[in-house]
Amino acid sequence: MKILITGSDGFIAKNLIMELKNRNYGELLLCNRKTKPEELEQYIEQCEVLIHLAGVNRPSSEDEYYIGNVKFTEHIVNLLKEKQKTIHIIYTSTVMNSRHITYRRSKQEAEEILNKYARQSNSRLSIYRLSNVFGKWCRPNYNSVVATFCYHISHDQKIVIDDPNARINLIYVDDVVESIISCIDAKDHLGVRYIEVKDIYQTTVGEVGEILLSFRQAQRLFEIPSLEMPMRKKLYSTYLSYMEPEEYCYELKMNTDERGAFTELLHSRDFGQVSVNIVKPGKEKGNHWHHTKVEKFFVVKGTALIKLCHMITGQVVDFIVSGEKMKVVDIPPGYTHSIANIGTEDLVTVMWANEIFDQEKPDTYYEKVSSKDS
């Protein structure tokens, strides 16, 4: 399949092209401002699907709306007519309540040109009316409030919100890409149809700003923010893509003593804390219990003897685990427990706790694990 994509250097196009390549979608014919007229003519002649993403949405003068959105669409249609092409056309337009009236009218006129051609040529036409698409590779300080906020917040710059209560509908670029690819594959319609992306997130400009600011604060605390809601998860992925690369690597505090080391790796108020524990050969750690806190121990290197003793019954359970076989040991509340290195190399264990350690309420009480013979 040969797919022509106009506006190939744009935000949505970059994401779409990468995923089409991931899925080995035949030959991609890419058209942008650098494409020569004769190249575009060849692409039109060859293509089986046309994804028309090109357009002007932030011009230096309003005349550019007409030239970029209407005249270019008209030019493409004339080439299609000249080549007598009957193909599937996918067009990204804008919502009809767009505040930018001239932009909206230019996109609407382009829709009408494509509509007319589709009816006359018996071609399939799929139209997306999008607004506020966000995600990686979107240009900040251009036409996306999310991209602008992400850039400024990740660079510790102030964001300006004129009306925090202003309503906004957000669409994630990966959801747009997935829908377009499904549209390419669909064979269930003729004529013209309007397609809505499945997931549209209704929010306010103020809420978006608050969420993105909370991500920056979480970074400073070495925390993973709450990502349970799909919109937050997608905003977080977007936010990280705007950070400067040197911030992707950062140092953690390693607490050391004669027994080894302990480093808190991840914190989240939703899922708790992940740490890396190192025990030197012949050394032991732990010998404490919790009322409510629960943990999981996962040895990734070395050999460990993990002992649990029930605080009421005195029953002791021993587990010998090593990095050679993937095993997890659950540490329930009410059991005092210890972990000893019984090997000849450093014992490295990934530990998860269901809550972040709180110095004021540690829920950690010293108690030596008794042996079975005691």
| pLDDT at position 56 | 80
The answer to whether 293 and 361 have CB atoms below 8 angstroms apart is no
Element (H, E) at 8: none
Active-site choice (103, 201, 242, 335): 103
Rounded distance between C-alpha atoms, residue 79 and residue 336, angstroms = 78
| pLDDT at position 100 | 75
At which residue do the structure tokens 């359970």 appear? 317
CA atoms within 13 A of residue 299's CA, in its CB half-sphere: 24
Rounded distance between C-alpha atoms, residue 43 and residue 68, angstroms = 19
The answer to whether 234 and 172 have CB atoms below 8 angstroms apart is yes
103 is catalytic: yes
Rounded distance between C-alpha atoms, residue 200 and residue 172, angstroms = 8
pLDDT above 90 covers a percentage of the chain that reads 87
What are the C-alpha distances in Å from 350 to residues 125, 263, 337?
Answer: 53, 10, 16
Rounded distance between C-alpha atoms, residue 23 and residue 26, angstroms = 9
pLDDT in tens, 197-230: 999 999 999 999 999 999 999 999 889 999 999 9
- Burial (Cβ within 10 Å: 0-12, 13-18, ≥19) of residue 344: exposed
Residue 174 has pLDDT above 70, yes or no: yes
Residue 282: other Cβ atoms inside 10 A: 11
| pLDDT at position 203 | 98
CA dihedral 21, 24, 26, 30 (to 10 degrees): 0
